[in-house]
């Protein structure tokens, strides 16, 4: 199963509603705010480190030769930025050995 934002909101609501009576709309705003902060940092070229989870980094890929699949024509693909993720040792251990 793929975890979606909706799943995250539902789980957060289930955890917080019992303790603090937080509404589902509030949880959705919390989750959306966190993702906006992450996207903003990455867009500015900053790495995002979440302790115990991993690190999102911006990597620049150089321009390279490519091929148009429809025509077979050789083209130069421009350089671009991509996001990479390196999981923490804690997450790696949990994935491989359970809790």
For the chain, the domains span 1-43, 47-99
Which residues have CB under 8 Å from 1's CB, separation 6+? Answer: none
User: Where does the pLDDT of residue 8 fall: very low under 50, low under 70, confident under 90, or very high at 90 and above?
Assistant: very high
Distance CA 36, CA 40 (A): 6
- Provide CATH code, domain 47-99: 4.10.520.10
In the prediction, which pLDDT does 99 show? 65
In the prediction, which pLDDT does 29 show? 97
Mean residue pLDDT across the chain: 94
Average pLDDT over residues 82-93: 95
Would you say residue 17 has pLDDT above 90?
Answer: no
In the prediction, which pLDDT does 20 show? 86
Average pLDDT over residues 54-76: 94
């Amino acid at each position: 199963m793929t975890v979606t934002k909706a799943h995250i909101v539902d789980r957060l609501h289930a955890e917080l509603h019992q303790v603090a009576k937080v509404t589902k709309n509030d949880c959705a705003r919390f989750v959306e705010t966190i993702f906006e902060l992450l996207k903003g940092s990455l867009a500015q070229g900053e790495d995002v480190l979440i302790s115990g989870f991993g690190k999102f980094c911006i990597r620049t890929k150089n321009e390279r030769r490519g091929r148009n699949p429809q025509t077979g024509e050789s083209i130069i693909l421009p350089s671009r930025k991509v996001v990479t993720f390196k999981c923490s040792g804690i997450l790696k251990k949990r994935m491989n050995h359970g809790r």
